[in-house]
Amino acid sequence: MRRLLTCALFASSCVAVLAAAGYAYALRVAPMPPSPTRVALADAVVVGRVVGVEDKDVSVPAYPGAPPGATTTYRVAIVQVADVVKGTKGLKMVRVGFFPPPNVVPPGGPGGGVRPGIRPGIRPGFGGNVQLKVGDAGLFYLAKHFKEPLYTIPGMYDFTARANGNYDKELQEARANTQLLADPIKGLKSDDKSKRFLTAALLITQYRRGLPGKTKSEPISAEESKQILLALADANEWNTPQRFGQLHPQNLFFQLGVTNKDGWQPPPNFNEMPNAIRTWLRNHANTYRIQRVVPAAG
């Protein structure tokens, strides 16, 4: 749900671009989020197999506090869980909602052929969506619906089939990322700079994620906040170029929402940005408190 809201807000500013480029092109170039991002945003990560699909689609409230009629429709797959990587242990069977395929009229009308460039298993439209069927087995990154007994697959890369060549690597990374989240202070104080940065990236992604409905901010512990800022400042990744969809300390810094009230002044020369950020991180590690986004009552 939270990533659906983010996509919706982003989509509204990209309508003109997508109209010109075409949805098929947008799907071909959409980058896969890195494993830490998907793990941090997921309420549950499971290994499982689809053993059934419910006969009727379900409509559920789109977000907390949604007015009557503001609903989202899902087709529901029944997934038998073989292993819980992240989430409630002991899960054996979960209901997983995904968007039903739209009624797409091919170019030229009926019989006009299949629209080119659409990735198999992905719903045409902004961002694309996973289509599940009985027998699909693999790694599921799931978001828990805030009200209904239902998990959902928020994005086009939130299911990795067992037959995928990257499956074993993804599963190994998901386990490692979940382990870091289970004891973040240990990861943040590791002797390994890469592990410290990865732990910081997981926590920032989790704490600063967009949530549907009303939200508020609350500070995390002073010690954890300090260690996250220092991990960003010391990251080896400052020496690598920024790429869209990849983890980079500069992108993670801007997710914190730091302003001039926090003593942050962007340098006039953009090329000086990395050094300015690292200086701010070190100078404010003991005083700045990272704010966690949480649901608000009402």
97 and 191 fall within a common domain? no
> Quick one: pLDDT band at residue 242, thresholds 50, 70, 90?
confident
Tell me the three state secondary structure of residue 84.
strand
Q: What is the pLDDT of residues 182-223, one digit of tens each?
A: 999 999 999 999 999 999 999 999 999 988 888 999 999 999
Give me the helices (H) in 92-192, please: 167-182, 184-188
Q: What is the mean pLDDT of the chain?
A: 85
Distance between first and last Cα of the chain: 18
Q: What is the pLDDT of residues 132-176, one digit of tens each?
A: 999 999 999 999 999 999 999 988 999 999 999 999 999 999 999
Q: What pTM value is reported for the model?
A: 0.81
236 and 126 fall within a common domain? no
Give the pLDDT confidence score for residue 110 in this predicted structure: 54
49 and 105 fall within a common domain? yes
44 and 85 fall within a common domain? yes
56 and 202 fall within a common domain? no
144 and 107 fall within a common domain? yes
**CATH code for the domain in which residue 37 is found:** 2.40.50
Count of C-beta atoms within a 10 Å radius of residue 192: 10
Average pLDDT score over residue span 54-82: 94
Q: Residue 21: is its pLDDT beyond 80?
A: no
**Which H/E stretch holds residue 94?**
strand 93-98
Give the pLDDT confidence score for residue 55 in this predicted structure: 96
Using CA atoms, how far residue 181 sits from 16, 98, 221, in Å, is 39, 27, 15
Q: What is the pLDDT of residues 91-114, one digit of tens each?
A: 999 999 999 987 655 565 555 444
Instruction: Judge whether 171 lies within some domain.
Output: no
Domain count for the chain, please give it.
Answer: 2
Contacts of 8 (CB under 8 A, 6+ apart): none
User: Cα separation of 262 and 166, whole Å?
Assistant: 42
User: Cα separation of 276 and 63, whole Å?
Assistant: 38
212 and 278 fall within a common domain? yes
Tell me the three state secondary structure of residue 276.
helix
156 and 257 fall within a common domain? no
Among residues 164, 191, 209, the one where a domain terminates is 164
Instruction: Judge whether 268 lies within some domain.
Output: yes
Give the pLDDT confidence score for residue 175 in this predicted structure: 98
Domain extent at residue 55: 2-164
132 and 35 fall within a common domain? yes
Least confident of 105-109, 160-164, 258-262, 276-280: 105-109
